[in-house]
Amino acid sequence: MDKTEIPVTPADAGTSGPGKKSRAGLIAFLTGTALVVIAIGYRAFNPVISPEIAAANEQAPPTIPELQALAEKDPLNSKAWQELAFAHFSAGGYEQAARAYRQAVEGDPDNAVLWSALGEARVMASERDPMPADAVTAFQKAIALDPTDPRSRYFLAVRKDLAGDPRGAIADWTALLKETPPGAVWEDNLRRTIEQVGKINGIETSAMLAAVDRDRAASAPAAAPPALTAGNAIPGPTQDEIAAARAISPSEQQSMAEGMVERLDTRLRSEPGDVNGWVMLMRSRITLGQADEASRALKDAIAANPAQAARLRAEAEALGVR
């Protein structure tokens, strides 16, 4: 049975140590997001796409051997290695993904997303240890670079659960949920993780979750004035498309969303004058919890469209992008 198919049942409540009980929250969450990101994993992208990969994506998605060849041409091309790692991860090749992410961070050692993706791949590749030391090191490195990185925050809370501190883990997950953008792809799965780990350990979580909902509602930004689109005037999914998306597994939903963002990002590199496209990209990054990437998109959009800087800044402000 694949790791993401491990069931969580009431019987797990009697388990101690790094067994089913300890892995309950981990598995529940990984099934839905792989924060990486994830995935994720949860996937975040650097704003610069390598020309080789961009050209390949215009024709057809490159195969793993093709991605391998592109990456090996330039060992320090972090984007190429990231693409290869994600392809391996999506195919269930977690050990290969971990090796590729490790090479990616060689080329971009200050990228928190790459470090947290590396940690997740190492977790998924481990058959015996639910939280291997080298994965923890990667998550800690990511947090040092970006204290808001959601994937690392999630997994370091898992580590607390594994160490016998479910209350501490739930507190950390609850704090993450409070800061999660409404509608983020991992939101429902994070909530279920809190509920399941609470149930397994006899911890009441309904009041905590209700308080989070109240706080998030109270702090929600005001609606953008009609003059701003904030992405609202840009065509989005129809109700039928939303229903179809809900019919597939959470991990497939994640991959679908990430693929759409990747294609949009790649297209804007060749069509930088599409201001509405930049607004959509910022909105998508915020939905995926990629605030830094959204900020980078804003800077790139302004650089490419200086005459539209005022509008882009106004759109960004409406989305909470700084």
User: DSSP letter string over 128-174?
Assistant: S-SS-HHHHHHHHHHHHH-TT-HHHHHHHHHHHHHTT-HHHHHHHHH
CA–CA distance, 96 with 83 (Å, rounded to integer): 12
Cα end-to-end span (Å), the chain: 44
Asked: is 19-219 a CATH 1.25.40.10 domain? The reply is yes
Q: Summarize pLDDT for 167-187 with one digit per residue, the tens.
A: 999 999 999 999 888 777 778
Q: Summarize pLDDT for 182-224 with one digit per residue, the tens.
A: 777 778 888 999 999 999 999 999 999 999 999 888 876 554 4
pLDDT of residue 236: 42
pLDDT of 258 over the 70 cut: no
pLDDT of residue 137: 97
pLDDT of residue 20: 38
Q: Summarize pLDDT for 85-125 with one digit per residue, the tens.
A: 988 988 889 999 999 999 999 999 999 989 999 999 999 99
Question: Residue 3 corresponds to which tokens in the numbers above?
Answer: 């790791």
pLDDT of 1 over the 60 cut: no
pLDDT of residue 97: 94
- Per the model's pLDDT, the better-predicted residue between 128 and 31 turns out to be 128
Q: Estimate to the nearest angstrom the gap between the alpha carbon of 283 and the chain centroid.
A: 14
pLDDT of residue 263: 76
pLDDT of residue 222: 52
Domains 19-219 and 239-319 equal at CATH topology level: yes
pTM: 0.59
Domain map of the chain by residue range?
19-219, 239-319
pLDDT of 237 over the 50 cut: no
Q: Are 165 and 308 in contact (CB under 8 A)?
A: no
Q: What is the mean pLDDT of residues 226-248?
A: 46
Q: What fold does the segment set 239-319 form as a domain?
A: 1.25.40
Confidence class for position 161, pLDDT limits 50, 70, 90: very high
CA–CA distance, 279 with 284 (Å, rounded to integer): 9
CA–CA distance, 283 with 276 (Å, rounded to integer): 11
Q: Are 120 and 40 in contact (CB under 8 A)?
A: yes
Q: What is the mean pLDDT of residues 273-294?
A: 82
CA distances from 251 to 4, 42, 215, 240 (A): 9, 10, 28, 20
CA–CA distance, 30 with 124 (Å, rounded to integer): 9
pLDDT of residue 211: 93
pLDDT of residue 206: 94
